[in-house]
Every structure is written in C-alpha cells, then in structure tokens.
Structure 1
Amino acid sequence: MARILVAEDDPSVRAFVVSALSMKGHEVVAAEDGGLGAEIADEEEGRFDLLLSDIKMPIMDGIALALHVGAKYPEVTIVLMTGFADQRERAHGLDALIYDVITKPFTLADLLVKVDDAIAGKPVEVVSLGRRALEQ
C-alpha cells in the first residue's frame, strides 16, 4: 500500500480521510495545515507516494504546499481537495504539477477511487485536469 501525507485543517475532514485511507491499508501521516505538511515532507525527505491536501488552509495553503513538495520531491503525486469553486480555479494553473482536484464534500467511495487512481497513475478525465490528461 501507499505512504500518504494528508494536509487538512478541518479536524473532522482530516479524521475521516485518515481513517478511510488507513482502513484501506495505507500508511497515513497527517498535518493540520500546509506549513506542518511542508515540515513533515522535508523531515521525511519526500518519502511519500501521495500528498493529499486541502487548498484553503491557514499558515500555508495547499497551493503553496503543492509548489513546495512538487519542486523538492517531483516523484510525489499530488491531489488537492477543496469545497470552494474559486480555489479549484487556482489549482487549474498547476496542471503540470498536480494529478487532480477532488471537490468537497466527497463520499468515501469518491475519495478511495481518486486516491487509488492517483497512486496507480491512471489518467484523469480531460475535463477535470486539461492538458495533463492529454499528455498521459
């Protein structure tokens, strides 16, 4: 199974995601915000298969965290989460860096399928990611 770094500031969403991924057999490390997520990524020298991060967080948002992790650890697959349409648009500019964006609220099944696809490197729909999907 995969080693996943989850950065999410909402305690209930973080607990749901960590629980779901752990029950699926993944090793999950959780951070309460992007700043802690960046610290953990650096302490672990990027030894994660996947970064799953909320976009809108205090300290360091998910976009900044994705840029940090993507620049230092390009082998880490990145999936962002958001409940805000404007935040999804901000992520659209990162097509070459992120795998996809999952929109909140999401179901357990949605989360697990997206994580499995990201880890397996399956292409995402052209509509959801644009240029990156065409390149795969």
Structure 2
Amino acid sequence: MSRILVVDDEEPLRTLVARGLTMDGHTCLMAADGAEALDILIAEKGRFDLLLTDIRMPLMDGIALALAAKQEFPELTIMLMTGYAEQRERAKSLEAIISEVMVKPFTIADLRATVMKVIERSIG
C-alpha cells in the first residue's frame, strides 16, 4: 500500500489517525509539527505517497509545511486536516497544491475513505 506521513501536534489524534490508516495496509510515519515533518520528508527524500497534516500547529503550521514540502518535492500529494473555519479559508488559496481538506471532527471510516480516494486520484 502507501507510505503516509501523519502530522498533528495532538498525540492522541496523530496516533488514532495512523492506526486507522494502517488498518488499510498503509505504512505511517508520524511527526508532531511541521518542522519535524519537513525534517522527515528531507531525510526520506520525499518518498511518501501522502502528506496528511493538521493546519494549526506550533513552530510550523500545516500550510507552511505544505508550501515547503511542495517546493522541495513537487510530486508529493498533500491533504490537510482542520477543525477551524478560518484555516479552511486559508487552505482554499492552496487548491493547486492541496488534494483535499478534511474537516474535524471526522470518523476514522470517513478519513480512510477520503485518503483512499486521494491516493487513487494521485496515481490515477
């Protein structure tokens, strides 16, 4: 299946998301913020099928991460998660580089289905 980098500053949610995605056979690495995620992306030479990141995080938010990741790895598929309306508005300006914005709260079933759809579209 796919390699996914899951980024969220809330450890319980990050772990829950990764566990849910591994149920579908995906391999998940995790990061607590955008800076850590960017370090992982660089160390792994961008070899991920999906970057799944929260928008609102300390140090480097998900939008800054998405911009930096796309600049470094143009083929990387990126999906955002947020529970904040103003963050969804910020993400709209990134439609060219973002495949999907998942609105929190979501069910693991919805997340799994959306991730599968995004990955299928990217290899389409």
TM-score by length of 1: 0.88
The one-letter code matched in structure 2 to 1:60 is: M
Question: Which position in structure 1 is the counterpart of 2:30?
Answer: 30
**Displacement of 1:76:** 1.1
Which structure 1 segments of 5+ residues have no match? 123-136
Question: Which position in structure 2 is the counterpart of 1:79?
Answer: 79
- Cα deviation 1:58-89 (Å, max 9, x = unaligned): 01000000001111111111000000000000
Assess if the C-alpha contact under 8 Å between 1:2 and 1:26 holds in 2.
yes
Question: Which position in structure 2 is the counterpart of 1:48?
Answer: 48
Distance 2:78 2:105 in 1: 19
Aligned to 2:110, what secondary structure does the other structure show?
helix
Runs of 4+ in 1 over 2 A off after TM superposition: none
- Cα deviation 1:9-56 (Å, max 9, x = unaligned): 011110110110112110100001111000000000100000000000
The one-letter code matched in structure 2 to 1:104 is: K
**Displacement of 1:90:** 0.4
Question: Which position in structure 1 is the counterpart of 2:19?
Answer: 19
Assess if the C-alpha contact under 8 Å between 1:49 and 1:75 holds in 2.
no
Question: Which position in structure 2 is the counterpart of 1:64?
Answer: 64
Aligned to 1:25, what secondary structure does the other structure show?
coil
Kindly report which structure 2 residues correspond to 1:104-123, keeping only aligned pairs within 5 A, or say none: 104-121=104-121
Distance 1:29 1:9 in 2: 14
Distance 1:110 1:75 in 2: 25
Number of residue pairs the alignment of both structures matches: 122
Percent identical pairs in the alignment equals: 52
Distance 1:78 1:118 in 2: 9
- Cα deviation 1:84-126 (Å, max 9, x = unaligned): 000000000001000010000000111011100110017xxxx
Kindly report which structure 2 residues correspond to 1:95-134, keeping only aligned pairs within 5 A, or say none: 95-121=95-121
